[in-house]
């Protein structure tokens, strides 16, 4: 049988049973749609989370006091081995270090005239704006040594809006935790990061924050290092320096890479399991192909007998039915992608916030997978067809 004839034979078999083929393909289509949709959502969530994490830049190492891993709460706990501003100053002198951000975090009331708002008070260093990529929208940020311990403050977006509305905050005096601070700048809108509002903040010099909270130790020091320095070398340099200064290893280092890697790991597993969930429908769709192909083989027994009688070989019959199964499944795959397109359009109107990322690679993959499913589901029925005894098959009906 020539290839063209074979193609024609298979094609007409699929076409002649239009409603049956359509319904079979629909089963696969729903499976493919749910797998692709869920993968797209998983991918979207992954990218969203990783992006909001990496907005701080990739070459950043966070130093926390205390050696033991206490689930990120390390900086909040009391310790008898403080991480001080002097440590931060010493770290800044290390070769390869570009910026240093000492961090003290707290919460309290911020007042301006009659207005009051409780928000996050963040004690940071002059490098923060550059190191974290927080652009100053108005006025200026603290200058390096000049503002250490001075009563100046920079407002986050929400804090500025709540206290000053549209008026100019520069030069005004506000009360933070009962002390007077002069506003010297405002930071642009940063939005939310993992559900935490990054704008409901007032920034003050770390030294002032330590005094306000009556603390000895910083909660964290962020080190941004130069591009030509390797992460490993930098970590070693930091550890050595702090060991010299403290007489022992009493800090823990977390690099952005560590954090991203573990985060990516978790999210990948999540994405896989979500896609596997969608796979359940695909499995049922495959059972559908198996069922329909078997029925088809039974219906066309006499036809197969005739083909065998005029010289069609067993492998040829096998091939014909396999191709039919694959064709059905691929048809389902295409249908599924169309359905996906429709759903995507609906979602973009109804749930514009839902993070979804469609990759062309996955679309090709979806088609290949659907073809593979057709192949697997078609094996049993095709073998049934190929193994029919020609004489008996001809006698049927």
Q: How far is the CB of 343 from other proteins (least distance, A)?
A: 12
Give min distance, CB of 100 to other proteins, in A: 20
Count of Cβ atoms closer than 10 Å to residue 256 Cβ? 19
CB of 98 to other proteins, least distance (A): 26
- What is the full DSSP assignment across 239-259? HHHHHHHHSS--EEEEEHHHH
Of 189 and 233, which has the nearer Cβ to other proteins? 189
Query: What is the β-pairing status of strands 179-187 and 152-155?
Result: parallel
Q: Is 224 helix (H, G, I), strand (E, B) or coil?
A: strand
- Work out the burial of residue 7: count CB atoms within 10 Å of its CB; fewer than 13 is exposed, 13-18 middle, 19 or more buried: middle
Question: Which of 194, 132, 202 has the alpha carbon at shortest distance from 161?
Answer: 202
Select 312 or 372, whichever has its Cβ closest to other proteins. Answer: 372
Per DSSP, the three-state class of 99 is strand
Q: How far is the CB of 282 from other proteins (least distance, A)?
A: 8
Q: Can you tell me the distance from the alpha carbon of 47 to that of 45, in angstroms, rounded to the nearest whole number?
A: 6
Return residues touching other proteins (CB under 8 A).
19-20, 23-24, 26-27, 30-31, 34, 38, 65-68, 70-71, 73-74, 76-80, 104-109, 117-121, 176-179, 195-197, 200, 209, 212-216, 219, 277-278, 280-281, 283-285, 287-288, 290-292, 294-295, 299
Residue 295 or 313 with smaller CB distance to other proteins: 295
Q: How far apart are CA 22 and CA 15, in angstroms?
A: 9
- Residues 244 and 315: their CA atoms lie apart, in Å, by 77
88-92, long-range: CB within 8 Å, 24+ apart, which pairs? 88/125, 88/206, 88/218, 88/221, 90/241, 90/245, 91/63, 91/221, 91/223, 91/238, 91/241, 91/242
Name which of 294 and 344 has its Cβ closer to other proteins. Answer: 294
What is the number of other CB atoms lying within 10 angstroms of the CB of residue 376? 15
Please identify, using beta-carbon distances, which residue of 30 and 242 lies nearer to other proteins.
30
Task: Say how far apart CA 230 and CA 259 lie, in whole Å.
Answer: 17
Q: How far is the CB of 146 from other proteins (least distance, A)?
A: 24
Interatomic CA distance for residues 37 and 356, integer angstroms: 8
At closest approach, how far in Å is the CB of 258 from other proteins?
Answer: 19
Closest contact distance (angstroms) between CB of 294 and other proteins is 6
Nearer to other proteins, 13 or 104 (CB): 104
| Residue 118 vs 313, nearer CB to other proteins | 118
Query: Minimum distance between the CB of residue 181 and other proteins, rounded to whole angstroms?
Result: 12
Smallest Cα–Cα separation from 392: which of 310, 301, 316? 301
Q: DSSP 3-state assignment of 181? A: strand
Q: Which C-beta is closer to other proteins: that of 19 or that of 244?
A: 19
Residue 42 CB, nearest approach to other proteins (Å): 12
Nearer to other proteins, 23 or 351 (CB): 23
CB-nearer residue toward other proteins: 23 or 309: 23
CB of 369 to other proteins, least distance (A): 15
Tokens at 234, concatenated: 């930098």
């Amino acid at each position: 049988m020539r290839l063209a004839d074979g193609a024609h034979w298979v094609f007409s078999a699929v076409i002649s049973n239009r409603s049956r083929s359509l319904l079979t393909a629909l089963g696969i289509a729903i499976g493919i749609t749910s797998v692709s949709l869920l993968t797209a959502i998983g991918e979207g969530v992954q990218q969203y989370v990783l992006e909001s994490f990496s907005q701080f830049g990739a070459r950043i190492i966070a130093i926390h006091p205390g050696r033991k891993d206490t689930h990120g709460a390390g900086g909040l706990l009391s310790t008898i081995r403080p991480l001080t501003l002097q440590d931060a100053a010493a770290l800044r002198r290390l070769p390869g270090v570009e910026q240093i951000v000492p961090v003290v975090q707290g919460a309290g009331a911020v007042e301006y005239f009659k207005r009051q708002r409780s928000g996050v008070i963040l004690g940071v260093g002059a490098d923060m704006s550059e190191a974290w990529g927080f652009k100053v929208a108005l006025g200026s940020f603290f200058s390096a040594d000049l503002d250490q311990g001075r009563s100046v403050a920079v407002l986050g977006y929400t804090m500025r809006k709540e206290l000053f509305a549209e008026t100019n905050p520069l030069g005004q005096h506000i009360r933070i935790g009962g002390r007077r601070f002069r506003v010297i700048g405002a930071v642009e809108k940063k939005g939310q990061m993992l559900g935490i509002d990054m704008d409901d903040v007032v920034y003050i010099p770390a030294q002032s924050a330590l005094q306000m909270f009556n603390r000895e130790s910083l909660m964290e020091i962020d080190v941004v290092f130069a591009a030509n320095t390797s992460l490993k070398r930098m970590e070693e340099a930091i550890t050595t320096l702090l060991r010299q200064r403290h007489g022992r290893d009493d800090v823990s280092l977390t690099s952005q890479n560590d954090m991203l890697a573990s985060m990516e790991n978790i999210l990948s597993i999540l994405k896989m399991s979500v896609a596997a969930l969608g796979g359940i429908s695909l499995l049922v769709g495959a059972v559908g192909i198996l069922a329909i192909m078997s029925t088809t083989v039974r219906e066309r027994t006499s036809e197969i007998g005739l083909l065998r009688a005029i010289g069609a070989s067993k492998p040829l019959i096998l091939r014909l039915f396999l191709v039919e199964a694959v064709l059905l499944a691929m048809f389902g795959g295409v249908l599924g992608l169309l359905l996906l397109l429709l759903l995507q359009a609906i979602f973009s109107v109804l749930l514009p916030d839902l993070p979804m990322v469609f990759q062309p690679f996955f679309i090709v993959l979806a088609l290949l997978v659907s073809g593979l499913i057709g192949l697997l589901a078609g094996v049993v029925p095709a073998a049934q067809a190929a193994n029919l005894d020609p004489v008996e098959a001809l006698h049927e009906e």
